[in-house]
């Protein structure tokens, strides 16, 4: 698979769903990929990337940004409250806001800076014990709490359980977003981004289908 093929599959999925061309943004998930593979995707003109660890992103993106204009990096993995400042230096968006304490830290820091990354609230649609994200029953209250802190909530994000039909989770996330007046939906990965687009994804997070299998586990 290549960047061009993924992009063309996204355009086809947009069309099939009757959605405007370019309404879906492709986040190329570059975690644990060798630097030369990332460089190759940058050289093809792609500018939006996703990382799931603050430390790992800090080790490579300042340098890539110095050499390529217009780069945007989104945090798609868990964020500890004590890394909020660093994350706000590194990322244009955070897709993993999932608890009050974290939201509060981001709000305080945003106040101090007069700027804030776009935020997605992660929802644990499968109600899995080990997984991050607010529980479905808490979504509306948490969105309201974030808005009360003046946080720029762009939308919702989910990672469906591996053994379940992802479309059910995408549909659920879209329903939660709609009833909260949100139209940003961060959902869909290498194996299911077309289904996510059919159900309203605005941001798909695709790693291995662009870069090849990750060389070490993420």
The enclosing H or E element of 155 equals strand 153-157
Return the C-alpha torsion angle 169, 47, 92, 186, nearest 10: -10
Sign of CA dihedral 62, 66, 67, 72: positive
The alpha carbon of residue 202 and the mean position of all alpha carbons in its chain are separated, in whole angstroms, by 10
Encoded tokens for 31:
């975690």
Cα(130)–Cα(213) distance, rounded to whole angstroms?
24
If one asks whether residue 190 binds ligand PLP (CB under 6 A), the answer comes out as yes
If one asks whether residue 177 binds ligand PLP (CB under 6 A), the answer comes out as no
Nearer to ligand PLP, 24 or 206 (CB): 206
If one asks whether residue 189 binds ligand PLP (CB under 6 A), the answer comes out as yes
Please, what is the minimum distance in Å from the beta carbon of residue 92 to ligand PLP?
A: 16
- Please check whether residue 202 is in contact with residue 184, taking contact to mean a CB–CB distance below 8 angstroms: yes
Q: How many CA atoms within 13 Å lie on the side-chain side of 196?
A: 30
| Span of 13-21, 82-90, 125-133, 201-209 interacting with ligand PLP by CB under 6 A | 201-209
Nearer to ligand PLP, 77 or 107 (CB): 77
If one asks whether residue 159 binds ligand PLP (CB under 6 A), the answer comes out as yes
Nearer to ligand PLP, 131 or 175 (CB): 131
| Span of 54-62, 66-74, 137-145, 200-208 interacting with ligand PLP by CB under 6 A | 200-208
Nearer to ligand PLP, 149 or 167 (CB): 167
Beta strands in the chain (DSSP E): 25-29, 48-51, 72-75, 93-97, 118-122, 153-157, 184-186, 203-206
Alpha-carbon distance values, 156 to 1, 59, 169 (Å):
28, 28, 12
Please, what is the minimum distance in Å from the beta carbon of residue 76 to ligand PLP?
A: 4
Please, what is the minimum distance in Å from the beta carbon of residue 3 to ligand PLP?
A: 13
Cα(196)–Cα(187) distance, rounded to whole angstroms?
6
If one asks whether residue 103 binds ligand PLP (CB under 6 A), the answer comes out as no
Q: Name which position in 10, 73, 76, 156 contacts ligand PLP (CB under 6 A).
A: 76
Could you tell me how many residues of this chain bind ligand PLP (CB under 6 A)? 14
Of 215, 202, 211, the C-alpha closest to 74 is: 202
If one asks whether residue 206 binds ligand PLP (CB under 6 A), the answer comes out as yes
Interface residues with ligand PLP (CB under 6 A) are 29, 31, 52, 76-77, 159, 189-190, 205-209, 218
């Amino acid at each position: 698979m290549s960047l061009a093929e993924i992009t063309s599959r996204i355009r086809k999925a947009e069309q099939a769903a009757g959605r405007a061309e370019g309404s879906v943004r492709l986040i190329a998930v570059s975690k644990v990929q060798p630097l030369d593979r990332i460089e190759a995707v940058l050289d093809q003109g792609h500018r939006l990337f996703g990382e799931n660890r603050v430390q790992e992103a800090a080790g490579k993106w300042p340098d890539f940004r110095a050499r390529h204009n217009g780069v945007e990096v989104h945090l798609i993995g868990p964020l500890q409250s004590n890394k909020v400042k660093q994350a706000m230096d590194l990322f244009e968006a955070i897709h993993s806001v999932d608890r009050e304490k974290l939201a509060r830290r981001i709000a305080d820091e945003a106040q101090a800076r007069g700027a804030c990354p776009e935020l997605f609230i992660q929802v644990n649609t499968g109600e899995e014990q080990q997984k991050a994200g607010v529980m479905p029953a808490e979504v509306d209250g948490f969105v309201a709490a974030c808005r009360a802190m003046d946080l720029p909530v762009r939308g919702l994000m989910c990672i469906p359980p591996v053994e379940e039909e992802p479309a059910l989770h995408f549909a659920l996330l879209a329903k939660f977003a709609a009833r909260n007046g949100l139209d940003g939906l961060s959902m869909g990965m290498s194996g299911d981004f077309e289904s996510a687009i059919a159900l309203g994804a605005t941001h798909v997070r695709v790693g291995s289908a662009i870069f090849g299998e990750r060389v070490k586990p993420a």
